[in-house]
Structure 1
Amino acid sequence: MHRRRRTALLLSAAIVAAAPLLTACGNDAHPGAAAVVGGQRITVSQLENRVDEVRAAQRAAVPDEAQYQQAIARTGSLTRDTLHGMVLDRVLQHAARDAGVTVTPREVQRMRSGLEEQAGGAKELKAAWLQQYGVPPQRLDENLRLQLEAQKLAESLGTDTSRPEFWRALSEAGKDLGVDLNPRYGTWDAEKSSRADARTPWVRDVTTTGTPQTA
């Protein structure tokens, strides 16, 4: 049986489990930091550079000014979304290492080749990942590695990335690392364990069959 659809999981759909990974921090404690993960800073400059990569890719993809402004409007929370993705990427890597999960370049290339075939070519895949997930072309392999790490981690836990067991593993990894988020880039409702201000596309369940789709 051929599966002709790829499912996409947005972090917002499972944020109740993932939210405890992050706590607020002030600029006085970590000047110049957008976040601190495991004692390592994600600087404001690093964050801005990542956002600029997406904006530059959007501009190249839609040279018409009106269409470009529409693309910006659709991704108005890009800075906060990007930061949360950068933080959770590090948390996932930590969880994957603890579980003995590794991803090889060959595995990434295999996934990319399969996705390119389904999308209709390399150019079409890059456009789809930019439009749907805010991933610029130069970050595509990095993002696919992230997806494979997430899938393999879930498999090692006997579950999938939509299940509480997966998110609990990330929560434990976040606690182990220690994660501070600069409130300038978002707030969290500690009582509800949910993000209060934005949706963050992050991890997707992907297979090498089907066509890119949003959740």
Structure 2
Amino acid sequence: MHRRRRTALLLAAAITAAPLLTACGNEAHPGAAAVVGGQRITVAQLENRVTEVREAQRAAVPDEAQYQQVIAKTGTLTRDTLHNMVLDRVLRRAAQDAGVTVSRKEIQQMRSGLEQQTGGSKALETAWLQQYGIAPARLDDNLRLQLEAQKLASKLGTDTRNPAFWNALAEASKKLGIDLNPRYGAWDVQKSTRVDAKTPWVREVTAAGTQQTT
């Protein structure tokens, strides 16, 4: 599943196969990949984010054969990117509800520390691109996400692995009324993660067709 790519560090554990709990997204929101809190994430916005990653990957891997291997390993990039875009809004809502804020200075401090660990700004950007599918232009946004998660967990007196933290995100998901376009799956409110939509009717139709031809 290439789970690591879906969101970096603290939130990576959220992305697991989960039962389908909500499945919306229909003609009521044409052109939308998702609707979160009444605000649309358009298909065009999602595609632009994916293009940012692909272009960064292409620049980092000029060899065509190697680039094709990268694409093959990141086949779920579109869905992973949408997950991150939705989770970003969920976490921000949960942080706001808890009175948690993150300053630009805090983001820069976190980035500086990570750059020291990885060997510089370029090395950090490359690491985030390769491991988590985060384009360099979105690195600071992802670091803000990490800081919000840390500070929210601290405010709740827990950590990001504890159910109390995910319960806060689940509550934020409920308040936002997340509605995913079925082509991208559905949003599991309790686990605050995107899940693949189940389509039992496909099996039913197929089975019916088989019976008619036998």
Which letter does structure 2 place at the counterpart of 1:34? A
Q: Corresponding residue for 2:12?
A: 10
1:130 pairs with 2:129: yes
Whether the 8 Å contact between 1:96 and 1:153 is mirrored in structure 2 is yes
Q: Corresponding residue for 1:58?
A: 57
How big is each residue's C-alpha offset from its partner over 1:120-162, in whole Å with a ceiling of 9 and x where there is no partner? 1111100000000100111111110010001100111111111
Distance 1:102 1:172 in 2: 18
Q: Which has the higher helix share?
A: 2
Q: Corresponding residue for 2:205?
A: none
Q: Corresponding residue for 1:41?
A: 40
Structure 1 SS opposite 2:41 = strand
Q: Corresponding residue for 2:108?
A: 109
Per the TM alignment, residue 26 of structure 1 is displaced from its structure 2 partner at its CA by 3.4
Which letter does structure 2 place at the counterpart of 1:10? A
Q: Corresponding residue for 1:142?
A: 141
Distance 1:139 1:175 in 2: 26
Distance 1:169 1:109 in 2: 26
Per the TM alignment, residue 70 of structure 1 is displaced from its structure 2 partner at its CA by 0.7
Whether the 8 Å contact between 1:34 and 1:181 is mirrored in structure 2 is yes
Per the TM alignment, residue 193 of structure 1 is displaced from its structure 2 partner at its CA by 9.5
Distance 2:158 2:17 in 1: 17
- The correspondence of residues 151-170 of structure 1 with structure 2, limited to 5 A, is 151-170=150-169
Which letter does structure 2 place at the counterpart of 1:176? K
How big is each residue's C-alpha offset from its partner over 1:152-188, in whole Å with a ceiling of 9 and x where there is no partner? 0011111111111111100000111110011101246
Q: 1:38 to 1:188 in 2, by over 3 A?
A: closer
Distance 1:44 1:107 in 2: 32
Whether the 8 Å contact between 1:62 and 1:68 is mirrored in structure 2 is yes
Whether the 8 Å contact between 1:15 and 1:194 is mirrored in structure 2 is no
Per the TM alignment, residue 11 of structure 1 is displaced from its structure 2 partner at its CA by 3.9
- The correspondence of residues 90-101 of structure 1 with structure 2, limited to 5 A, is 90-101=89-100
Identity level (%): 72
What is the count of residue pairs matched by the alignment?
190
Distance 2:154 2:108 in 1: 20
RMSD over aligned CA atoms reads 2.7
Distance 1:103 1:159 in 2: 18
Bigger Rg, structure 1 or 2: 2
TM-score by length of 2: 0.81
Q: 1:34 to 1:172 in 2, by over 3 A?
A: same
Structure 1 SS opposite 2:40 = strand
Distance 1:41 1:189 in 2: 18
Q: Corresponding residue for 2:172?
A: 173
